[in-house]
Structure 1
Amino acid sequence: MAGNGTASISAAERSAMARARELALLGPRGVNPQVGAVILSPDGRVLAEGWHRGAGTPHAEVDALSKLAPGEARGATAVVTLEPCNHTGRTGPCAVALLEAGVARVVHAAADPGEASSGGAARLAVAGVEVERLDEAEGEALIADWLFVQRTGRPRVTVKWAQSLDGRAAAADGSSRWITGPEARAHVHRERSAHDAIAVGTGTVLADDPKLTARIPGVDDAPQPLPVVFGERDIPAAAALRAHPRGLRTAGRDIEAELRALAADGIQSLYVEGGPTLASAFIRAGLADRFTIYLAPTLLGGPRTAIDAIGVGTIDEQRRLAVTRLEQLGRDLLVEATTESEQ
């Protein structure tokens, strides 16, 4: 039978689900979701663990089952962070693999949202396997960006800028280093590392020659975002970006089309760190989902505003945001917000 209650979930299954989430994070972010699985014996012992290592490789459940001898999974429980898939793509259906292995019970977290791949839980239940759902919210949080891509066809976009209290991103002569202090700049590097890609415009590349790497003290192998440069001007051969460890990707002016192309290549999240022109273009197009804004306690005046025209002509057209976090970073204030549709 299938259920979504938690009364029948054992302590061993809860522990296995926490472990499965840890295993999922060992896999890469990309076109497919990060998924972890743990196989438990009928008395709650861990028999095997597995995770998905990327497109074309065995899914987490199959990876775990492959570590068991034939018949060893009979009567076992599979605990997995995502509902077992029910379709044949580059690999076969995980629901069928579990049935063929003789698994008697499946506990999963998030439901599979795919039109072709969903239905695994129902298929298992019809075949007589006990199916329960556990920690659905945690399971969805684990693959939140991937789920966003499935719903929208594009990566989730975070737009970042730093500004003075009077809304300026630079002094009148264009100089901007540094408006914010070291604590805020360190936070930016952590944000870079937390995103799959980072975007700037060619104007920023030509003016600032940024590296766009994530540099975190004490962390030598911090995940690096793929740099994406929007615009049509050539990038100099000597630009610092050409030495980026992830390489370099160029993009045209059609932001929505470029975002869909990034999603097709497995990019789930994009951090827009360009200047006012690029940030405003994303906002104006309705393609900014989250905002990370650093407010420095300083006044600059002049024309160099942090945001340009975003298509707001009257007060009734204002783009309202929901503030999700306020934090003091040294002397600066971090404001994180989302569009109301993200709530």
Structure 2
Amino acid sequence: MSFEAAMRLAIAQADRVKGTTYPNPPVGAVVLDSAGDIVGVGATEPVGGAHAEVVALRAAGERARGGTAVVTLEPCNHHGRTPPCVDALLAAGISTVVHAVADPNPVAADGAARLAGAGVTTVPGVLGAEVAGGSLREWLHKLRTGRPHVTWKVAGSVDGRSAAADGTSQWITSPQARADVHLRRAAADAVIVGTGTVVADDPALTARTPDGALYDRQPLRVVVGLREVAADRKVRNADSPTMLLRTRDPAEVLRALADRTDLFLESGPALASAFLRAGLIDRILAYVAPVLIGGPNTVIDTIGVDTLTQAPRWSYDSVLRVGPDVLLSLVPD
């Protein structure tokens, strides 16, 4: 198996555990024997459990000796809750280590250098951009900036409307798009809305399967605003914890959620615009349905743009079809 093919399998393993490994990053690993055949796969276990390399090495056993480890993140070189992954790789007799992204954490970094010093061949950067923009996106962002990564999820018509003139909005996007949102909720640390959304739509903000069952993992539900949230609102039920933040300041919201990594903003136009004005949105996920609605209910309020030269520019990270809809992923220029 090629290094790239093995890395894609490792990426799939990392994607599978995303959201379950905090504060550790979601990492995937594949072990190939000396002939290049898969003998072990693994992903990071919940905190206190084994790292991805150790899980894959356990599955491989003696077949790992003389083989190759393919990992989405450079193996760690420090003793935290668990011993260094470098030690496990050396003890297993791995001869080559392939990784996608270098570990930017100064406490855990330099695993590849230590492996090379012990005579192990190291191959860095295989599918590095794909991993950095995928399963490790939010974790890397927090290491760089010191704050959680904020994704604004917005769903609307092709002309930028979130509801018809009478307020009806269920549903603009397709079942496939809504299923994709629920999968992303299940991987997020928290889902954020404003009190206006709770009053108008009474969302549950849980992560649910297409048949309505709850996923095993649920995000923290965060409601932001000064209005009271009635006890009978769905966000007050027992399906998932809920945090009520009596503020309208996005910076205060991030301070309250500083121990989290991956925040999913699903608010209406007022709170989303406040986050945009504050420069605190790191990615936009826009689900665009092929429908024209018109009218006053736009997906965003004013963001301080009085003339076109003031408009913030974004770059397309990816463009995907989701059923009949289009999912646009954008990052700031």
TM-score range, shorter chain: 0.7 to 0.9
- Inter-partner Cα distance in structure 2 for 1:338 and 1:110: 21
* Pair 1:237 & 2:231 matched: yes
Shift of 1:36: 1.9
2:99–2:123 Cα contact (<8 Å) kept? yes
1:99 equivalent among 83, 90, 104: 90
Question: Residue by residue, what CA displacement relative to the aligned partner does 1:116-143 show, whole Å, maximum 9, x if unpaired?
Answer: 2221111110111111133323333332
2:17 match: secondary structure? coil
* Pair 1:110 & 2:101 matched: yes
1:198 equivalent among 166, 191, 201: 191
Question: Residue by residue, what CA displacement relative to the aligned partner does 1:249-291 show, whole Å, maximum 9, x if unpaired?
Answer: 22343323433553523x4241x22222111111111112315
2:276–2:303 Cα contact (<8 Å) kept? yes
1:33 equivalent among 15, 25, 34: 25
- Inter-partner Cα distance in structure 2 for 1:163 and 1:121: 48
Shift of 1:334: 4.8
* Pair 1:53 & 2:48 matched: no
Superposition RMSD in Å: 3.2
- Inter-partner Cα distance in structure 1 for 2:331 and 2:130: 22
Matched residue, 2:205: 212
* Pair 1:249 & 2:243 matched: yes
2:16 match: secondary structure? coil
2:294 equivalent among 293, 299, 304: 299
- The code of the aligned residue for 2:120 comes to V
1:167–1:305 Cα contact (<8 Å) kept? yes
- Inter-partner Cα distance in structure 2 for 1:316 and 1:142: 34
Question: Residue by residue, what CA displacement relative to the aligned partner does 1:189-244 show, whole Å, maximum 9, x if unpaired?
Answer: 42243141322111221232222234553574556543211123332111111226
Q: Calculate the TM-score normalised by the size of structure 1.
A: 0.79
- The code of the aligned residue for 2:127 comes to D
- Inter-partner Cα distance in structure 2 for 1:42 and 1:229: 53
Matched residue, 2:56: 64
* Residues 212 and 113 of structure 1: CA distance in aligned 2, closer, same or farther (over 3 Å): same
Gaps of 5+ in 1: 1-10
Q: Calculate the TM-score normalised by the size of structure 2.
A: 0.81
* Pair 1:280 & 2:273 matched: yes
- Inter-partner Cα distance in structure 2 for 1:240 and 1:158: 21
* Pair 1:316 & 2:306 matched: no
1:12-161 correspondence to structure 2 within 5 Å: 13-29=3-19, 30-67=22-59, 73-133=64-124, 134-140=126-132, 141-152=134-145, 153-161=147-155
Identity across the alignment (%): 38
2:115 match: secondary structure? helix
Larger of the two Rg values belongs to structure: 1
- The code of the aligned residue for 1:40 comes to L
1:229 match: secondary structure? strand
Question: Residue by residue, what CA displacement relative to the aligned partner does 1:166-197 show, whole Å, maximum 9, x if unpaired?
Answer: 857553xxx411375452x6524422431413
Shift of 1:83: 1.0
1:268 equivalent among 262, 271, 274: 262
- Inter-partner Cα distance in structure 1 for 2:80 and 2:160: 53
1:17 match: secondary structure? helix
1:292–1:337 Cα contact (<8 Å) kept? yes
Shift of 1:57: 1.4
2:161–2:298 Cα contact (<8 Å) kept? yes
* Residues 127 and 219 of structure 1: CA distance in aligned 2, closer, same or farther (over 3 Å): farther
Question: Residue by residue, what CA displacement relative to the aligned partner does 1:2-31 show, whole Å, maximum 9, x if unpaired?
Answer: xxxxxxxxx354443333223323324232
- Inter-partner Cα distance in structure 1 for 2:232 and 2:211: 28
* Residues 38 and 129 of structure 1: CA distance in aligned 2, closer, same or farther (over 3 Å): same
* Residues 76 and 307 of structure 1: CA distance in aligned 2, closer, same or farther (over 3 Å): closer
- Inter-partner Cα distance in structure 2 for 1:245 and 1:311: 38
1:228–1:248 Cα contact (<8 Å) kept? yes
